[in-house]
A and B are shown apart, each in its own frame.
Chain A
Amino acid sequence: MPNSAITEQDVTLVELLDRLLDTGVVVRGDLCISVADVDLVYLQISLLLTSMAKMTSVLEAKN
């Protein structure tokens, strides 16, 4: 179900996390630590909810 509590700020945060955690130069090796294996499942779910919330609001505005 669309979650109307999701705000524009949440959208930006999800977009931000999606970018920061899944992109950028990935460094591997024993000289450094890098968050390379972050579980992105919850982000994908959030993105889906966000998209649904956005669509719902657009539809409501149209109707």
Chain B
Amino acid sequence: MDNGYYLYAVLQNEAGSDIDLDACGARTGQAATGGMGGRYELQRVNFRGLCAIYSEVPLSEFGQESLKQNMGNLEWLENAARRHDVIVRNLSALATIVPVRFGTVFLSLTGIEKFVDDYGTEITALLDKFDGCWEMGITLSFDKALVVARLEGKDDELRQLDTKIRQATEGAAYLFRKKLEQVQDAKFKLFVEEEVGACTKLLSQTARFVKEEPPGTNKDGGALLSVKLACLVPIVHIDRLRSQIELLYDPARVTGVFAAITGPWPPYTFSRLAKTAIGKEASHHA
């Protein structure tokens, strides 16, 4: 049976050589070995000062077509995703790494070496950026009805329109209601933008990098709108960041805005390579 090479992460050569790969495997459930698929151990290949961590995987399970089919099987996907995460977490706990996207399988070790060769400069820059940090996720959810009710309490324009609706004839009230909806939408959008800005500013005091993920969320969204922020946080400041968010969005005090904190994660969200390099690679092989 043919095997492929599942790539987990890339790190500096020296750090990679010191890692006990046996300890980084995901020995969960009935898996006897640590790599994806549970049949092979983690291995390393050193190339141009960097170290790539991989394991062999059967192409019958992780080949192009099999993988696409398996991705549609939620049970398989959950198991594989958790296994991938455990391995990357274990590596991340021992060294600074650049995680590679879930499901990246090379057909040969030469393919991994070519990847490291092509992206070595950018991977090295990311390793410097990630040094000593983990990723934290903050999701801000906004309930439009609650936010608007909160704004109405202190916004003259909204209050006046509300008064006009109650005093107007039926036809005029309809027009005022339309106007009110427009003003509410605009003020809700502004509120969300200001709140995200304030949260980003607060996070920036503790985090090394903060970004909206995906960038430019449509803040005209419906009744419930969620904005996701990802932060790269020095390990020593993770608890402080958590406390800051919990205090800022204490549900006993704040109405209409809810914050959910996830993490710490390996720096998944910050591991995208520059688009120019990806484009170059894609066109090179086209």
**With A and B bound together, what is the CA distance between A54 and B261 in angstroms?**
12
Do B67 and A51 touch across chains, with their CB atoms under 8 A apart? no
Task: Using A20-B101, A58-B251 as known contacts, say yes or no to A51 and B273 having CB atoms under 8 A apart.
Answer: no
Task: Using A15-B262, A29-B285, A32-B104 as known contacts, say yes or no to A51 and B271 having CB atoms under 8 A apart.
Answer: no
Do B104 and A27 touch across chains, with their CB atoms under 8 A apart? yes
Do B100 and A35 touch across chains, with their CB atoms under 8 A apart? no
Task: Using A29-B281, A33-B4, A33-B64 as known contacts, say yes or no to A61 and B105 having CB atoms under 8 A apart.
Answer: no
B82, B100, B258: the one within 8 Å of A24 (CB)? B100
A17, A25, A31, A52: the one within 8 Å of B271 (CB)? A25
**With A and B bound together, what is the CA distance between A6 and B63 in angstroms?**
32
Interface of A, secondary structure class, is helix
Q: How many interface residues does chain B have, given as a range?
A: 35 or more
Do A17 and B81 touch across chains, with their CB atoms under 8 A apart? yes
* Shortest CB distance A37–B (Å): 9
**With A and B bound together, what is the CA distance between A3 and B82 in angstroms?**
23
Q: How many interface residues does chain A have, given as a range?
A: 20 to 34
Do A23 and B67 touch across chains, with their CB atoms under 8 A apart? no
B272 at the interface (CB under 8 A from A): yes
Instruction: Name which of B102, B114, B139, B260 has the most chain A CB atoms within 10 A of its CB.
Output: B102
B65-106 vs A, CB cutoff 8 Å, 1 = contact: the mask equals 001100100000110011011000000000000111111111
The 7 closest A-B pairs by CB, nearest first: A35-B103, A24-B101, A31-B111, A20-B102, A29-B285, A19-B268, A32-B106
Give 16 new A-B contacts, CB below 8 A, not counting A17-B81, A24-B272, A26-B278: A16-B85, A20-B81, A25-B123, A26-B101, A27-B7, A27-B100, A27-B104, A29-B282, A31-B108, A31-B285, A32-B105, A32-B106, A35-B71, A51-B226, A52-B224, A61-B251
Q: Which residues of A contact B (CB under 8 A)?
A: 11-13, 15-17, 19-36, 38, 47-48, 51-52, 54-55, 58, 61-62
Q: List 11 A-B contacts (CB under 8 A).
A: A12-B262, A16-B85, A20-B102, A21-B102, A23-B213, A24-B100, A29-B111, A31-B108, A33-B63, A47-B226, A51-B139
